[in-house]
Structure 1
Amino acid sequence: MPERTGGKGSVTNAVWSLVVPLKPLALAKSRLARSVGASRPGLALAFAQDTVAGALACAAVADVVVVTDDAAAGAELARLGARIVPDVPAAGLNAALDHGARAVRSGRPGAALAALNADLPALRPLELQRVLENASVFPRAFLADAAGIGTTLLSAAPDAELAPSFGGPSRARHSASGAVEIALPDVDSVRRDVDTAADLRTALALGVGRHTARYSARMQATAYTYDSQTRSGSVLLDDGTPVPFEAPAFDAGGLRLLRPGQRVRIETDGAGASLRITLVTLQTF
């Protein structure tokens, strides 16, 4: 790793503006569709909520700008304290980040910027602070994702352009663009983006924020009873509440048999006394 020294283009004790891009929820996290089914949009929102909440709790962060055209997601993230900027370019991830960066610097011309993924549900403020402090001595810097292929954070000092190149093997592109790779141990929560069921399991093991924890808990249950003749039965939610399911919910999950005690993934409709299970299948994360 290059020597960490100050100088032109560096930021000392920076207070950062973060730009977080978020697709419309109906399109977000498409690679999770097979594992979480119709719960995917809600889970994508929960990831973004925990990312924004974790970022705003970081002492090095002044504000968070979310670039999105999803009105419902924008409203929820604004409640957490994020500033919502419409995705006017509507030309993909990097165009959205450039647009967000311009929105920040139109009001704060000398702002230090960092682009941050919206799918970091285990984000810890102190780990993010360490990453930003490390980034602050370079004109541009980036943090590779847990897989070592993509990027979860890209920073730009006040006199540097962000020049994002996210998507696919962005680690190599950001390095080739002159950004310095941040090589810090013990910042797993800032690296752990979630694209697959395996990623989600790892994030849950790290410890996710309250939004993802609450939403994922609603997606999990334990088989309680099952009648093979009627293909109906019941599950126990993780709080111990029994909820019945009928044959259409069982059939929707593609199962042949269900044994009491098996962990299952469920999809539901309604709430409280009106809660209805629309799908029950084996747990996939």
Structure 2
Amino acid sequence: MFRGSIPALVTPFRDEAFDEGVYRDFVEWQIAEGTHGLVSCGTTGEASTLSFEEHFAVVAACVDQAKGRVPVIAGCGSNDTRVAVANVKKAAEVGADAVLLVPPYYNRPNQEGIYRHFEAVAQASALPVLLYNVPARTVTDIQVETAGRIVKDFPNIVGIKDATGMLGRVTAHRAACGPDFIQISGNDDTALGFMAMGGAGCISVTANVAPRLCADFQNACLGGEWAEALRLQDLLYPLHMALFTDASPGPVKYALTRVRKDFPSALRLPMTSAGEASRRAVDAALAHAGLT
């Protein structure tokens, strides 16, 4: 169910408010371009700046526009276990197909605390749960042994978005969590290696801007067409890098204004627009990929 190119969708704002019309058009474009699934209200969607009501209005709009054509995964992470539980319950209520959760950030729990957090989430969730391990943001690492324990005890925890950058973990997770455990890369730049080691897809920033190329790349990987996958990797690599030349999602929102003229570039503080050097890098990468 969860495979291929899955953009972590940006959230468009206009005059400080969620622009639902632009978002629905954006979702429609993504599906038409071959995207395999959608993440609504993840990090790239500026979820940390959304109120609870806004957050699930965005998820509900994504679900309604997708109309079951591709799965919708709702970002539901929190450093407060009670809030995370409330989030997964609301995600089910608005019709999401799965939920994606980071381990608690800032609090820095030990591995037992991480296990107990996901125990509470799994017991509360009527939906499949994907772990999201991104130590660079959370300062908390779901260690392989902990992931194996979680998956063994809670069958509705079905996979992981791994943004550690440690490609060896694909094999380690397969050994600890079983061959059916869904492993999805959280890093565009290393997704080729991740897929070659047995990954199922990528929750992608670049796919916001280049959905067709990212879908083609994932289809090549899933089909074992590694020469074509390498060609597309080389085409997309400058864009993968350019989109992180300033604080995300500033560069990706700028890139979207270049490929979709109706897309607003506004961000919510503390995020700010991409700087001049970042914009130049994005412009060059878009040209390299043939997108402008």
Q: Structures share a fold, TM > 0.5?
A: no
**Rg (Cα) greater in structure:** 1
Greater percentage in strand: 1
